[in-house]
Structure 1
């Protein structure tokens, strides 16, 4: 037999010591697990900021088209043939300048006929007036002429006067038509198209002239036509300055002033037509150019400004996360202007509310939150 079996007291002592050590180890292990579990359940600190009001200046980038301030197709008023052309494509003309002269021999014949009728009617009118004067003078003597003769002479004189006025009108009409053989510029501009040559037949649109003789374009002043989306129409005002660029001069910025607003939305595009007047004295800009337009959109009143990261766009709506008594609260909001990673928001919010700087759907409504102040105010 060994010594352990011969000494029962010593064996009991060894077993008891082993049990005490095992118990202490087990307690220490349980305490460590509890500490780890408690650390895991504690929420991490979440960065928040104090909500403040401010004014956010943004800009709207939209495409636009440059069109001539005035652009007109010039047709011949009467039919004829081109006798002389005085301008060509690119010619700069002034109002009233002679562009072309046409000839129409039949108009000359009509004018001569009208002139002859006018002279004949003048002679008849003179004769009827003289006859009436003689009869009227004779009627002053008793029994010389009857009153009926006087009335008939007066009627003949008035009828001949009316015919004389008609002849004069007919003569003026033909004379005015002859004036249309001289084709003149209605305003200052540049001839941007010419569709006729010397000897070509001309006439009113649809009567021998499918295309206009000339297209006259005003270039020193242009219209910049843009379509402003419905959500931004309230930010555009009369006489507001906008800037734009064109592909022909990518390194230059041009400006113009808002002068005309449609006052109604296009039913298809849901946008308002806005026209901007652009001075173009050097004629570098051309009608038809496509422009990239920047429209300033300054806020008129102070609104709540937050970082874009504070706004959550979810399938249930748009909201920010407000921290109240260390609890998360989803606050539905509507978005406004955006600029420089900031955004206007509108909702049931008050100045000084604590909002989560980087909000996500993982921060559930009502979940515990440990706020941590941001290092700097992100909404200034």
Structure 2
């Protein structure tokens, strides 16, 4: 009897344990099912058009409005220096005089040849004039003699003109012994000293004599990426700062647009005029330029988290019949948390708010 009671008790405990195990498995299946359902729930939003007004930050470079390197045209030696680094000069001001003794000799020789040819021409002209007056009396002068006198006069006249041109050429070359400023500006570099040899060739031409810059008027040069070339036009105001004066905001006006893209950078060169009367800014400074990008039209604006920039390119994930679908897009303007996109999308599309590469095409999307 005790054995029967023991068997019944063992069977009862076994049944209770089996029921507890089945109940536990069922609850775990329910939890897993709920977890899977919860996992498939993805936050989405409806795509719509908005207007975005932002600004684009680009580096720029300040350059002199005009800049020129001055060289010597003739082989000579530096005789006097009238300017140095930092000198403010005006147009036509004498900067340097050079010395070339052989040019003085050449000029004297050209002047002698000119005077000699003038005398020859005056003699042949006087001879022709006398023969011409005499030929008015019939039979006194033959036509051949008169023709020869005319030819001699014309030949001497041509020689005289050649002598005048040679004298003028030597005189013009001698004028190059004076180096003058071609425009108002500041001497930013000087590479010679008194007595130095300078010339158009050889050691004297390795560096320019002077570098002259116009600094009271500067150019701000930037390269606009292809995507943003339509936002700037002539006359627009642009703000910028420089590292030496970070608290000062400067303004420049767009003056020149190249109208073509650089083949390497795929960008357009834009130049802005910058008045600089106090010379706070210097040529060669790098600036941080803020370019306004106005909201000209409504475009598709989405959260940055909705755009995936991965190995397969730039795309968003669209929900089509609750199935994931990748749509390739191109980026536009950006703010801190939003971005402008372009592609095969339309208003009313349902996009995943937090897209990532772990969501594959065909995956179930439960909004």
TM-score range, shorter chain: 0.7 to 0.9
The answer as to 2:336 corresponding to 1:340 is: yes
Structure-1 residue corresponding to 2:126: 130
- Residues 86 and 188 in structure 2, CA contact (< 8 A), matched pair in contact too: yes
- The correspondence of residues 88-167 of structure 1 with structure 2, limited to 5 A, is 88-167=84-163
The answer as to 2:272 corresponding to 1:265 is: no
C-alpha distance in 2 between matches for 1:361 and 1:112:
87
User: Which of 342, 346, 349 is the matching residue for 2:345?
Assistant: 349
- The correspondence of residues 176-255 of structure 1 with structure 2, limited to 5 A, is 176-206=172-202, 208-233=204-229, 235-255=231-251
- Residues 309 and 359 in structure 1, CA contact (< 8 A), matched pair in contact too: yes
The answer as to 2:165 corresponding to 1:169 is: yes
Call closer, same or farther: CA 1:352–1:186 in 2, change over 3 Å. Answer: same
- Residues 43 and 369 in structure 1, CA contact (< 8 A), matched pair in contact too: no
C-alpha distance in 2 between matches for 1:345 and 1:301:
13
Tell me whether 132-141 or 205-214 shows the greater mean CA deviation: 205-214
User: Which of 263, 277, 283 is the matching residue for 1:281?
Assistant: 277
User: Which of 306, 309, 321 is the matching residue for 1:310?
Assistant: 306
Tell me whether 248-257 or 88-97 shows the greater mean CA deviation: 248-257
CA drift at 1:140 = 1.5
Call closer, same or farther: CA 1:79–1:316 in 2, change over 3 Å. Answer: closer
CA drift at 1:139 = 1.2
CA drift at 1:368 = 4.6
CA drift at 1:304 = 0.9
- Residues 221 and 270 in structure 2, CA contact (< 8 A), matched pair in contact too: yes
C-alpha distance in 1 between matches for 2:305 and 2:131:
106
| Cα distance per residue 1:130-151 (max 9 Å; x no partner) | 1111111111211101000000
C-alpha distance in 2 between matches for 1:110 and 1:203:
18
Uncovered stretches (5+) of structure 2, i.e. residues with no partner: none
| Cα distance per residue 1:194-223 (max 9 Å; x no partner) | 223334333334364433221111212233
The answer as to 2:64 corresponding to 1:68 is: yes
CA drift at 1:293 = 3.2
Tell me whether 38-47 or 298-307 shows the greater mean CA deviation: 38-47
- Residues 91 and 181 in structure 2, CA contact (< 8 A), matched pair in contact too: yes
Call closer, same or farther: CA 1:335–1:258 in 2, change over 3 Å. Answer: farther
Tell me whether 114-123 or 187-196 shows the greater mean CA deviation: 114-123
TM-score (norm 1): 0.79
C-alpha distance in 1 between matches for 2:108 and 2:98:
18
C-alpha distance in 2 between matches for 1:362 and 1:180:
75
- Residues 335 and 343 in structure 1, CA contact (< 8 A), matched pair in contact too: no
CA drift at 1:93 = 0.8
- Residues 266 and 273 in structure 1, CA contact (< 8 A), matched pair in contact too: no
- Residues 260 and 275 in structure 1, CA contact (< 8 A), matched pair in contact too: yes
C-alpha distance in 1 between matches for 2:354 and 2:130:
111
- Residues 125 and 160 in structure 1, CA contact (< 8 A), matched pair in contact too: yes
User: Which of 76, 81, 89 is the matching residue for 1:80?
Assistant: 76
C-alpha distance in 2 between matches for 1:274 and 1:344:
24
- Residues 331 and 347 in structure 1, CA contact (< 8 A), matched pair in contact too: no
May I ask how many residue pairs the two structures share in their alignment?
356
Structure-2 residue corresponding to 1:359: 355
CA drift at 1:228 = 3.9
Partner of 1:66: helix, strand, or coil?
strand
C-alpha distance in 1 between matches for 2:200 and 2:36:
89
Call closer, same or farther: CA 1:137–1:330 in 2, change over 3 Å. Answer: same
Uncovered stretches (5+) of structure 1, i.e. residues with no partner: 6-14, 372-380
C-alpha distance in 2 between matches for 1:252 and 1:347:
41
User: Which of 318, 325, 330 is the matching residue for 1:330?
Assistant: 325
- Residues 333 and 345 in structure 1, CA contact (< 8 A), matched pair in contact too: no
| Cα distance per residue 1:224-274 (max 9 Å; x no partner) | 33344455445554444433332222222333325142724233x454444
Q: Which structure has the larger Rg? A: 1
Call closer, same or farther: CA 1:301–1:336 in 2, change over 3 Å. Answer: farther
